[in-house]
Structure 1
Amino acid sequence: MSGLAMMPDRPLLDVHDISAHYGRVHALKPTNLHVKEGELVTILGPNGAGKSTLLRALTKLTASKGQVLFKGQDISSLPTHALARLGIIMVQEGRGLFGQMSVMENLILGGYTLTGSARDAEQRLDTVFGLFPRLRERTSQVASSLSGGEQQMLAIGRALMANPKLLMLDEPSLGLAPRVAAEIIETLGELNRRGLGILLVEQKAPLALKLAKRVYVISLGEIVAELSAHEIQSHHDLARYYLH
Protein backbone atom coordinates (compact mmCIF):
# COMPACT_ATOMS: atom_id res chain seq x y z
CA MET A 1 0.00 0.00 0.00
CA SER A 2 2.69 2.46 0.95
CA GLY A 3 4.46 1.66 -2.32
CA LEU A 4 1.61 2.85 -4.52
CA ALA A 5 2.62 5.75 -6.70
CA MET A 6 0.50 8.84 -7.07
CA MET A 7 -0.60 8.92 -10.72
CA PRO A 8 -3.44 11.45 -10.73
CA ASP A 9 -4.33 11.20 -14.43
CA ARG A 10 -4.45 7.45 -14.78
CA PRO A 11 -7.98 5.97 -14.66
CA LEU A 12 -8.19 3.33 -11.98
CA LEU A 13 -11.92 2.68 -12.21
CA ASP A 14 -14.05 3.76 -15.17
CA VAL A 15 -17.77 2.97 -15.05
CA HIS A 16 -20.19 3.31 -17.95
CA ASP A 17 -23.98 2.99 -17.69
CA ILE A 18 -24.02 0.60 -14.75
CA SER A 19 -27.55 -0.14 -13.55
CA ALA A 20 -29.29 -2.52 -11.16
CA HIS A 21 -32.80 -3.76 -10.39
CA TYR A 22 -34.39 -5.33 -7.33
CA GLY A 23 -37.21 -7.25 -8.93
CA ARG A 24 -39.18 -4.66 -10.86
CA VAL A 25 -37.67 -1.77 -8.92
CA HIS A 26 -35.07 0.19 -10.90
CA ALA A 27 -32.79 0.81 -7.93
CA LEU A 28 -29.88 2.23 -9.90
CA LYS A 29 -30.39 4.00 -13.22
CA PRO A 30 -27.58 3.98 -15.82
CA THR A 31 -24.67 5.59 -14.03
CA ASN A 32 -21.23 6.82 -15.06
CA LEU A 33 -18.31 7.59 -12.76
CA HIS A 34 -14.58 7.26 -12.50
CA VAL A 35 -11.85 7.17 -9.88
CA LYS A 36 -8.30 8.11 -10.79
CA GLU A 37 -5.16 6.52 -9.40
CA GLY A 38 -4.54 7.79 -5.88
CA GLU A 39 -7.84 9.66 -5.72
CA LEU A 40 -10.41 9.71 -2.94
CA VAL A 41 -13.93 10.14 -4.32
CA THR A 42 -17.04 10.27 -2.17
CA ILE A 43 -20.66 9.51 -3.03
CA LEU A 44 -23.21 11.56 -1.14
CA GLY A 45 -26.98 11.32 -1.11
CA PRO A 46 -30.00 10.94 1.14
CA ASN A 47 -31.12 7.62 2.61
CA GLY A 48 -32.49 5.30 -0.06
CA ALA A 49 -30.85 7.23 -2.89
CA GLY A 50 -28.96 4.19 -4.23
CA LYS A 51 -25.51 4.72 -2.71
CA SER A 52 -25.13 1.21 -1.32
CA THR A 53 -26.71 -0.32 -4.43
CA LEU A 54 -24.05 1.38 -6.53
CA LEU A 55 -21.20 -0.15 -4.53
CA ARG A 56 -22.87 -3.56 -4.51
CA ALA A 57 -23.40 -3.35 -8.27
CA LEU A 58 -19.73 -2.47 -8.82
CA THR A 59 -18.58 -5.45 -6.75
CA LYS A 60 -21.22 -7.84 -8.19
CA LEU A 61 -22.86 -8.41 -4.83
CA THR A 62 -25.97 -7.20 -6.68
CA ALA A 63 -26.62 -8.20 -10.28
CA SER A 64 -25.93 -5.32 -12.63
CA LYS A 65 -25.59 -4.29 -16.25
CA GLY A 66 -23.12 -1.89 -17.80
CA GLN A 67 -19.39 -1.68 -18.42
CA VAL A 68 -16.74 -1.44 -15.72
CA LEU A 69 -13.07 -0.95 -16.53
CA PHE A 70 -10.30 -1.38 -13.97
CA LYS A 71 -6.87 -0.16 -15.02
CA GLY A 72 -8.16 -0.35 -18.58
CA GLN A 73 -9.31 -3.97 -18.29
CA ASP A 74 -12.98 -4.78 -18.85
CA ILE A 75 -14.11 -6.49 -15.64
CA SER A 76 -17.86 -6.23 -16.24
CA SER A 77 -18.44 -9.98 -16.25
CA LEU A 78 -16.12 -10.95 -13.40
CA PRO A 79 -17.59 -12.33 -10.14
CA THR A 80 -16.92 -10.83 -6.73
CA HIS A 81 -14.05 -13.15 -5.80
CA ALA A 82 -12.24 -12.40 -9.07
CA LEU A 83 -12.59 -8.68 -8.44
CA ALA A 84 -11.07 -9.19 -4.99
CA ARG A 85 -8.07 -10.93 -6.55
CA LEU A 86 -7.56 -7.88 -8.76
CA GLY A 87 -7.51 -5.69 -5.66
CA ILE A 88 -11.06 -4.30 -5.64
CA ILE A 89 -12.10 -4.63 -2.01
CA MET A 90 -15.22 -3.38 -0.26
CA VAL A 91 -15.99 -2.80 3.41
CA GLN A 92 -19.73 -3.27 3.59
CA GLU A 93 -22.17 -1.47 5.80
CA GLY A 94 -22.55 -3.62 8.92
CA ARG A 95 -18.87 -4.64 8.69
CA GLY A 96 -19.48 -8.35 8.00
CA LEU A 97 -17.03 -9.62 10.60
CA PHE A 98 -16.80 -13.21 11.80
CA GLY A 99 -18.06 -12.44 15.28
CA GLN A 100 -16.91 -15.58 17.05
CA MET A 101 -13.45 -15.50 15.55
CA SER A 102 -10.59 -13.53 17.04
CA VAL A 103 -9.25 -10.26 15.72
CA MET A 104 -6.19 -12.06 14.36
CA GLU A 105 -8.27 -14.76 12.68
CA ASN A 106 -10.41 -12.12 10.98
CA LEU A 107 -7.31 -10.32 9.76
CA ILE A 108 -5.68 -13.47 8.43
CA LEU A 109 -8.85 -14.35 6.53
CA GLY A 110 -8.67 -10.95 4.87
CA GLY A 111 -5.61 -12.05 2.94
CA TYR A 112 -6.96 -15.41 1.80
CA THR A 113 -6.97 -14.41 -1.90
CA LEU A 114 -3.25 -13.62 -1.92
CA THR A 115 -0.33 -15.86 -2.62
CA GLY A 116 2.97 -14.80 -1.14
CA SER A 117 5.42 -15.34 1.63
CA ALA A 118 4.74 -15.27 5.34
CA ARG A 119 6.85 -12.13 5.39
CA ASP A 120 4.41 -10.41 3.03
CA ALA A 121 1.54 -11.24 5.39
CA GLU A 122 3.55 -9.97 8.36
CA GLN A 123 4.21 -6.70 6.57
CA ARG A 124 0.51 -6.24 5.88
CA LEU A 125 -0.24 -6.97 9.53
CA ASP A 126 2.34 -4.41 10.59
CA THR A 127 0.65 -1.85 8.33
CA VAL A 128 -2.75 -2.59 9.86
CA PHE A 129 -1.44 -2.43 13.42
CA GLY A 130 0.37 0.79 12.63
CA LEU A 131 -2.89 2.36 11.51
CA PHE A 132 -4.98 0.79 14.26
CA PRO A 133 -2.81 0.16 17.35
CA ARG A 134 -5.85 -0.95 19.36
CA LEU A 135 -6.18 -4.03 17.18
CA ARG A 136 -2.67 -5.13 18.12
CA GLU A 137 -3.75 -5.01 21.77
CA ARG A 138 -6.79 -7.19 21.05
CA THR A 139 -5.50 -9.86 18.68
CA SER A 140 -6.91 -12.75 20.74
CA GLN A 141 -10.24 -11.04 21.52
CA VAL A 142 -13.32 -12.25 19.63
CA ALA A 143 -14.62 -9.72 17.15
CA SER A 144 -18.15 -9.58 18.58
CA SER A 145 -16.80 -8.32 21.93
CA LEU A 146 -15.15 -5.24 20.40
CA SER A 147 -16.68 -1.79 20.56
CA GLY A 148 -18.38 -0.45 17.45
CA GLY A 149 -15.40 1.68 16.56
CA GLU A 150 -12.98 -1.21 17.06
CA GLN A 151 -15.15 -3.42 14.89
CA GLN A 152 -15.00 -0.85 12.10
CA MET A 153 -11.22 -0.66 12.50
CA LEU A 154 -11.11 -4.45 12.19
CA ALA A 155 -13.32 -4.43 9.09
CA ILE A 156 -11.03 -1.90 7.41
CA GLY A 157 -7.94 -3.73 8.64
CA ARG A 158 -9.22 -7.00 7.23
CA ALA A 159 -9.81 -5.27 3.88
CA LEU A 160 -6.26 -3.92 3.92
CA MET A 161 -4.92 -7.44 4.43
CA ALA A 162 -6.14 -8.15 0.88
CA ASN A 163 -3.70 -5.51 -0.41
CA PRO A 164 -6.37 -3.45 -2.19
CA LYS A 165 -5.71 -1.28 -5.22
CA LEU A 166 -9.16 0.28 -4.83
CA LEU A 167 -10.89 0.36 -1.45
CA MET A 168 -14.64 0.92 -1.38
CA LEU A 169 -16.39 1.70 1.90
CA ASP A 170 -20.10 1.87 2.63
CA GLU A 171 -20.93 4.24 5.51
CA PRO A 172 -17.86 3.55 7.68
CA SER A 173 -18.95 6.12 10.30
CA LEU A 174 -22.45 4.69 10.72
CA GLY A 175 -23.40 4.29 14.38
CA LEU A 176 -20.09 5.58 15.69
CA ALA A 177 -19.50 8.37 18.19
CA PRO A 178 -18.31 11.57 16.47
CA ARG A 179 -14.77 11.32 17.82
CA VAL A 180 -14.40 7.71 16.67
CA ALA A 181 -15.97 8.45 13.29
CA ALA A 182 -13.50 11.29 12.77
CA GLU A 183 -10.63 8.96 13.69
CA ILE A 184 -11.78 6.39 11.14
CA ILE A 185 -12.13 9.00 8.42
CA GLU A 186 -8.70 10.45 9.20
CA THR A 187 -7.19 6.97 8.83
CA LEU A 188 -8.78 6.71 5.39
CA GLY A 189 -7.17 10.04 4.61
CA GLU A 190 -3.78 8.65 5.62
CA LEU A 191 -4.28 5.63 3.36
CA ASN A 192 -5.18 7.93 0.50
CA ARG A 193 -2.08 10.06 1.13
CA ARG A 194 -0.07 6.86 0.76
CA GLY A 195 -1.57 6.45 -2.71
CA LEU A 196 -4.54 4.14 -2.20
CA GLY A 197 -7.56 4.87 -4.39
CA ILE A 198 -10.75 5.10 -2.32
CA LEU A 199 -14.44 5.26 -3.23
CA LEU A 200 -16.33 6.30 -0.12
CA VAL A 201 -20.07 6.27 0.51
CA GLU A 202 -20.71 8.41 3.56
CA GLN A 203 -23.86 9.87 5.09
CA LYS A 204 -21.94 12.42 7.16
CA ALA A 205 -21.02 14.86 4.42
CA PRO A 206 -18.73 17.16 6.47
CA LEU A 207 -16.46 14.23 7.35
CA ALA A 208 -16.20 12.97 3.80
CA LEU A 209 -15.69 16.43 2.31
CA LYS A 210 -12.58 16.96 4.42
CA LEU A 211 -10.84 14.28 2.38
CA ALA A 212 -12.53 13.98 -1.00
CA LYS A 213 -11.18 15.51 -4.16
CA ARG A 214 -14.41 14.96 -6.06
CA VAL A 215 -17.99 14.27 -5.10
CA TYR A 216 -20.80 12.46 -6.86
CA VAL A 217 -24.28 13.32 -5.61
CA ILE A 218 -26.85 10.57 -6.07
CA SER A 219 -30.61 10.96 -5.72
CA LEU A 220 -33.47 8.63 -6.63
CA GLY A 221 -31.11 6.05 -8.11
CA GLU A 222 -29.11 8.31 -10.39
CA ILE A 223 -26.10 10.59 -10.16
CA VAL A 224 -27.34 14.14 -10.44
CA ALA A 225 -24.05 16.02 -10.03
CA GLU A 226 -20.29 15.62 -10.15
CA LEU A 227 -18.53 18.36 -8.21
CA SER A 228 -15.20 19.33 -6.74
CA ALA A 229 -15.37 18.94 -2.98
CA HIS A 230 -14.78 22.66 -2.44
CA GLU A 231 -17.99 23.45 -4.37
CA ILE A 232 -20.05 22.11 -1.45
CA GLN A 233 -19.89 24.55 1.42
CA SER A 234 -23.07 23.66 3.33
CA HIS A 235 -26.00 21.28 3.63
CA HIS A 236 -27.98 23.80 1.59
CA ASP A 237 -25.67 23.17 -1.35
CA LEU A 238 -26.33 19.44 -1.11
CA ALA A 239 -30.07 19.87 -0.62
CA ARG A 240 -30.32 21.56 -4.01
CA TYR A 241 -29.20 18.30 -5.62
CA TYR A 242 -31.06 15.96 -3.27
CA LEU A 243 -34.31 17.67 -4.21
CA HIS A 244 -33.66 17.92 -7.95
Structure 2
Amino acid sequence: MSVEVPENRFLEVRELTANYGNVQALRPTSFHLDKGEFVAVLGPNGAGKSTLMRATMGLVENSGSVAFLGQETKRNNPANLASKGIILVPEGRGIFSPMTVLENLELGAYLLGSRSTVTGERMSKVLGLFPRLKERLTQIAGSLSGGEQQMLAVGRALMAGPKLLLLDEPSLGLAPRIIGEILEALGQLNREGLTIMLVEQKAPLALRLASRVYILSLGRVVAEIDPREIKSHDDLAHYYFT
Protein backbone atom coordinates (compact mmCIF):
# COMPACT_ATOMS: atom_id res chain seq x y z
CA MET A 1 0.00 0.00 0.00
CA SER A 2 1.30 3.46 -0.90
CA VAL A 3 1.30 6.09 1.82
CA GLU A 4 1.41 9.79 1.00
CA VAL A 5 4.51 11.24 2.64
CA PRO A 6 6.69 14.31 2.04
CA GLU A 7 9.53 14.11 -0.46
CA ASN A 8 12.78 12.70 1.03
CA ARG A 9 10.81 11.03 3.85
CA PHE A 10 12.53 7.73 4.49
CA LEU A 11 10.53 6.37 7.38
CA GLU A 12 7.03 7.36 8.47
CA VAL A 13 5.75 5.68 11.65
CA ARG A 14 2.20 6.44 12.72
CA GLU A 15 0.36 5.52 15.91
CA LEU A 16 2.75 2.67 16.68
CA THR A 17 2.00 0.62 19.80
CA ALA A 18 3.68 -2.46 21.24
CA ASN A 19 2.63 -5.07 23.74
CA TYR A 20 4.32 -7.79 25.74
CA GLY A 21 1.37 -10.05 26.50
CA ASN A 22 -1.19 -7.92 28.32
CA VAL A 23 1.30 -5.15 29.04
CA GLN A 24 1.36 -2.15 26.70
CA ALA A 25 5.01 -1.12 26.55
CA LEU A 26 4.60 1.49 23.82
CA ARG A 27 1.61 3.80 23.66
CA PRO A 28 0.41 5.20 20.31
CA THR A 29 3.31 7.24 19.05
CA SER A 30 4.46 8.67 15.72
CA PHE A 31 7.81 9.77 14.34
CA HIS A 32 9.66 10.07 11.06
CA LEU A 33 13.11 10.16 9.53
CA ASP A 34 14.14 12.08 6.44
CA LYS A 35 16.82 11.05 3.99
CA GLY A 36 20.35 11.57 5.30
CA GLU A 37 19.33 12.42 8.87
CA PHE A 38 21.00 11.29 12.07
CA VAL A 39 18.18 11.08 14.60
CA ALA A 40 18.62 10.15 18.26
CA VAL A 41 16.00 8.75 20.62
CA LEU A 42 16.62 9.64 24.25
CA GLY A 43 14.75 8.90 27.45
CA PRO A 44 15.08 7.56 30.97
CA ASN A 45 15.37 3.86 31.80
CA GLY A 46 12.11 2.06 31.12
CA ALA A 47 10.82 4.73 28.75
CA GLY A 48 10.35 2.20 25.94
CA LYS A 49 13.30 3.10 23.71
CA SER A 50 14.30 -0.46 22.85
CA THR A 51 10.65 -1.41 22.43
CA LEU A 52 10.26 1.42 19.93
CA MET A 53 13.06 -0.06 17.83
CA ARG A 54 11.74 -3.61 18.13
CA ALA A 55 8.20 -2.57 17.23
CA THR A 56 9.43 -0.59 14.23
CA MET A 57 11.18 -3.73 12.98
CA GLY A 58 8.19 -5.97 13.74
CA LEU A 59 10.02 -7.95 16.41
CA VAL A 60 7.29 -7.51 19.01
CA GLU A 61 3.49 -7.54 18.83
CA ASN A 62 2.43 -4.14 17.54
CA SER A 63 -0.21 -2.05 15.81
CA GLY A 64 -0.03 1.13 13.77
CA SER A 65 1.73 1.69 10.45
CA VAL A 66 5.35 1.78 9.28
CA ALA A 67 6.01 3.17 5.81
CA PHE A 68 9.44 3.10 4.19
CA LEU A 69 10.05 5.15 1.05
CA GLY A 70 6.31 5.72 0.72
CA GLN A 71 5.38 2.04 0.91
CA GLU A 72 3.72 0.54 3.97
CA THR A 73 5.65 -2.45 5.24
CA LYS A 74 4.26 -5.82 6.25
CA ARG A 75 3.58 -5.70 9.97
CA ASN A 76 5.52 -8.12 12.18
CA ASN A 77 7.76 -9.18 9.28
CA PRO A 78 11.38 -8.22 10.08
CA ALA A 79 12.66 -10.02 6.98
CA ASN A 80 10.50 -7.78 4.80
CA LEU A 81 11.98 -4.64 6.34
CA ALA A 82 15.51 -5.98 6.12
CA SER A 83 15.04 -6.81 2.44
CA LYS A 84 13.96 -3.20 1.85
CA GLY A 85 17.12 -1.89 3.51
CA ILE A 86 16.14 -1.25 7.15
CA ILE A 87 18.78 -2.94 9.29
CA LEU A 88 18.81 -3.08 13.10
CA VAL A 89 21.87 -3.48 15.33
CA PRO A 90 20.12 -4.77 18.47
CA GLU A 91 20.93 -4.16 22.08
CA GLY A 92 23.22 -6.99 23.16
CA ARG A 93 24.87 -7.13 19.69
CA GLY A 94 23.47 -10.51 18.64
CA ILE A 95 26.65 -11.78 17.00
CA PHE A 96 27.14 -15.48 16.22
CA SER A 97 29.65 -16.28 18.95
CA PRO A 98 30.90 -19.71 17.74
CA MET A 99 31.67 -18.36 14.28
CA THR A 100 34.67 -16.34 13.14
CA VAL A 101 34.66 -12.60 12.57
CA LEU A 102 34.84 -13.19 8.82
CA GLU A 103 31.92 -15.62 8.86
CA ASN A 104 29.81 -13.14 10.84
CA LEU A 105 30.54 -10.41 8.32
CA GLU A 106 29.81 -12.66 5.35
CA LEU A 107 26.45 -13.59 6.85
CA GLY A 108 25.50 -9.93 6.78
CA ALA A 109 25.69 -10.05 2.98
CA TYR A 110 24.23 -13.53 2.51
CA LEU A 111 21.60 -12.29 0.06
CA LEU A 112 24.36 -11.21 -2.32
CA GLY A 113 26.32 -14.43 -2.29
CA SER A 114 29.94 -14.75 -1.21
CA ARG A 115 31.34 -14.32 -4.75
CA SER A 116 29.60 -11.03 -5.42
CA THR A 117 31.94 -8.12 -6.14
CA VAL A 118 29.60 -5.99 -4.02
CA THR A 119 30.33 -8.24 -1.05
CA GLY A 120 34.04 -7.55 -1.45
CA GLU A 121 33.46 -3.82 -1.71
CA ARG A 122 31.37 -3.79 1.43
CA MET A 123 33.93 -5.89 3.26
CA SER A 124 36.67 -3.42 2.37
CA LYS A 125 34.51 -0.57 3.61
CA VAL A 126 33.78 -2.25 6.94
CA LEU A 127 37.41 -3.21 7.56
CA GLY A 128 38.44 0.32 6.73
CA LEU A 129 36.03 1.68 9.33
CA PHE A 130 37.05 -0.90 11.93
CA PRO A 131 40.70 -1.92 11.45
CA ARG A 132 40.54 -4.04 14.62
CA LEU A 133 38.24 -6.45 12.80
CA LYS A 134 40.71 -6.81 9.93
CA GLU A 135 43.31 -8.01 12.43
CA ARG A 136 40.89 -10.60 13.84
CA LEU A 137 39.12 -12.05 10.80
CA THR A 138 39.92 -15.65 11.74
CA GLN A 139 39.23 -15.18 15.45
CA ILE A 140 36.14 -16.70 17.05
CA ALA A 141 33.65 -13.86 17.55
CA GLY A 142 32.79 -14.89 21.09
CA SER A 143 36.40 -14.36 22.16
CA LEU A 144 36.42 -10.69 21.13
CA SER A 145 36.25 -7.91 23.67
CA GLY A 146 32.90 -6.21 24.19
CA GLY A 147 33.94 -3.24 22.08
CA GLU A 148 35.16 -5.44 19.25
CA GLN A 149 31.90 -7.40 19.34
CA GLN A 150 29.98 -4.15 18.98
CA MET A 151 32.15 -3.17 16.03
CA LEU A 152 31.40 -6.57 14.53
CA ALA A 153 27.66 -6.12 15.05
CA VAL A 154 27.76 -2.75 13.28
CA GLY A 155 30.02 -4.14 10.57
CA ARG A 156 27.72 -7.09 9.91
CA ALA A 157 24.78 -4.68 9.58
CA LEU A 158 26.75 -2.60 7.07
CA MET A 159 27.46 -5.72 5.02
CA ALA A 160 23.72 -5.88 4.35
CA GLY A 161 23.93 -2.54 2.56
CA PRO A 162 21.43 -0.63 4.73
CA LYS A 163 19.52 2.38 3.48
CA LEU A 164 18.45 3.05 7.07
CA LEU A 165 20.55 1.89 10.02
CA LEU A 166 18.89 1.51 13.42
CA LEU A 167 21.14 1.13 16.48
CA ASP A 168 19.94 0.21 19.96
CA GLU A 169 22.27 1.28 22.79
CA PRO A 170 25.59 0.63 20.99
CA SER A 171 27.61 2.16 23.85
CA LEU A 172 26.21 -0.17 26.51
CA GLY A 173 29.00 -1.48 28.75
CA LEU A 174 31.84 -0.12 26.63
CA ALA A 175 34.88 1.95 27.54
CA PRO A 176 34.79 5.62 26.45
CA ARG A 177 37.65 5.18 23.98
CA ILE A 178 35.86 2.35 22.17
CA ILE A 179 32.60 4.27 22.17
CA GLY A 180 34.43 7.16 20.56
CA GLU A 181 35.74 4.94 17.76
CA ILE A 182 32.29 3.56 17.03
CA LEU A 183 30.63 6.97 17.07
CA GLU A 184 33.32 8.37 14.80
CA ALA A 185 32.55 5.61 12.30
CA LEU A 186 28.81 6.31 12.53
CA GLY A 187 29.41 10.00 11.98
CA GLN A 188 31.47 9.25 8.89
CA LEU A 189 28.76 6.98 7.49
CA ASN A 190 26.13 9.66 8.05
CA ARG A 191 28.26 12.29 6.34
CA GLU A 192 28.48 9.92 3.39
CA GLY A 193 24.70 9.84 3.21
CA LEU A 194 23.54 6.94 5.38
CA THR A 195 20.37 7.66 7.34
CA ILE A 196 20.77 6.63 10.99
CA MET A 197 18.49 6.34 14.00
CA LEU A 198 20.24 5.86 17.34
CA VAL A 199 18.70 4.86 20.66
CA GLU A 200 21.12 5.83 23.39
CA GLN A 201 21.10 6.07 27.18
CA LYS A 202 24.19 8.28 27.27
CA ALA A 203 22.65 11.51 26.04
CA PRO A 204 25.86 13.55 25.48
CA LEU A 205 27.11 10.95 23.00
CA ALA A 206 23.91 11.03 20.98
CA LEU A 207 23.60 14.81 21.07
CA ARG A 208 27.08 15.13 19.60
CA LEU A 209 26.01 13.54 16.33
CA ALA A 210 22.25 13.97 16.04
CA SER A 211 20.59 16.52 13.79
CA ARG A 212 17.27 15.92 15.53
CA VAL A 213 16.17 14.28 18.79
CA TYR A 214 13.03 12.50 19.93
CA ILE A 215 12.39 12.29 23.66
CA LEU A 216 10.60 9.16 24.83
CA SER A 217 8.91 8.98 28.23
CA LEU A 218 6.43 6.48 29.67
CA GLY A 219 6.13 4.64 26.39
CA ARG A 220 5.50 7.51 23.99
CA VAL A 221 7.27 10.31 22.17
CA VAL A 222 6.76 13.46 24.25
CA ALA A 223 8.97 15.92 22.34
CA GLU A 224 10.93 16.50 19.14
CA ILE A 225 13.82 18.91 19.70
CA ASP A 226 16.91 20.42 18.19
CA PRO A 227 19.95 18.97 20.03
CA ARG A 228 21.39 22.48 20.29
CA GLU A 229 18.59 23.29 22.72
CA ILE A 230 20.01 20.84 25.27
CA LYS A 231 22.66 22.56 27.36
CA SER A 232 22.55 20.44 30.52
CA HIS A 233 21.10 17.35 32.17
CA ASP A 234 18.46 19.62 33.68
CA ASP A 235 17.24 20.47 30.21
CA LEU A 236 16.78 16.78 29.42
CA ALA A 237 15.14 16.09 32.78
CA HIS A 238 12.52 18.69 31.94
CA TYR A 239 11.47 16.59 28.95
CA TYR A 240 11.95 13.20 30.63
CA PHE A 241 9.53 13.92 33.41
CA THR A 242 7.01 16.15 31.69
Q: How far apart, CA to CA, are the structure 2 residues paired with 1:134 and 1:95?
A: 17
1:99 aligns with 2:103: no
Q: How does 1:144-183 map to 2 (within 5 A)?
A: 144-183=142-181
Q: Distance in 2 between matches of 1:18 and 1:152?
A: 28
Amino acid at match of 2:216: I
| Pairs within 5 Å for 1:103-142 | 103-114=101-112, 118-142=116-140
The letter of the residue matching 1:143 is A
Name the counterpart of 2:235.
237
- Out of 185, 188, 194, the position equivalent to 2:186 is 188
- Tell me by how many angstroms 1:243 deviates: 1.1
Corresponding residue for residue 64 of structure 1: 62
Equivalent residues of 2:61, 2:76 under 8 A apart: no
Distance between the aligned counterparts of 2:48 and 2:100, measured in 1? 33
Is 2:112–2:119's contact at 8 Å kept on the other side of the alignment? no
Q: Unpaired runs of 5+ in structure 2?
A: 1-5
In 2, Cα distance between the equivalents of 1:168 and 1:94? 14
2-side partners of 1:209 and 1:113: how far apart? 34
For residues 14 and 184 of structure 1, the distance between their equivalents in structure 2, rounded to whole angstroms, comes to 27
Aligned residue identity for 1:235? H
Specify which of 25, 40, 43 is matched with residue 41 of structure 2: 43
Report the AA paired with residue 148 of structure 1: G
Q: What CA distance in whole angstroms lies between the structure 2 residues aligned with 1:195 and 1:81? A: 24
**157-166 or 24-33: bigger deviation:** 24-33
Contact 1:9–1:37, Cα closer than 8 Å, also in 2: no
TM-score (norm 1): 0.94
TM-score, length-normalised on structure 2? 0.95
State the partner residue of 2:220: 222
Structure 1's 99 and 111: CA in aligned 2 closer, same or farther, altered over 3 A? same
Superposed displacement of residue 20, structure 1: 0.6
CA shift, 1:78, in A, is: 5.9
Q: Which amino acid in the other structure matches residue 151 of structure 1?
A: Q
In structure 2, the residue matched to 1:75 is: 73
8 A Cα contact 1:92 1:170, kept in partner: yes
Asked whether the equivalents of residues 87 and 160 of structure 2 are also in contact (C-alpha less than 8 Å), the reply is: yes
The letter for the 2-side match of 1:103 is V
- The CA distance in 2 between the partners of 1:13 and 1:191, in whole Å, is 18
Give the deviation of 1:67 after TM superposition.
0.9
Q: Which moved more, 1:49-58 or 1:69-78?
A: 69-78
Q: Which runs of 4+ in 1 moved over 4 A?
A: none
- Alpha-carbon shift at residue 175 of structure 1 (Å): 0.2
Given candidates 12, 15, 18, the residue that maps to 1:17 is: 15
Which stretches in structure 1 are left out of the alignment for 5+ residues?
1-7
Q: Matched residues in 1 for 2:131 and 2:112: separation?
A: 24
> Equivalent pairs: percent with the same residue?
59
Matched to 1:89, the amino acid is I
